Amino acid sequence: MTYRVCFVCTGNICRSPMAESVFRTHVARAGLDGLVEVDSAGTDGWHEGDGADERTVAVLEAGGYESDHTARQFQASWFSRLDLVIALDTGHLKALRRLAGSADDAEKVRLLRSYDPAADDDLDVPDPYYGHMEGFEECLEMVEAASPGLLAAVRERLEERAA
Catalytic sites, residue numbers: 9, 15, 127
Task: Name the residue among 163, 126, 124, 151 with its Cα closest to residue 33.
Answer: 151
64 dihedral zone (left: phi>0; alpha: psi -120 to 50; beta): left
Helix (H) or strand (E) holding 96: helix 90-99
Classify residue 46 by its DSSP letter: T
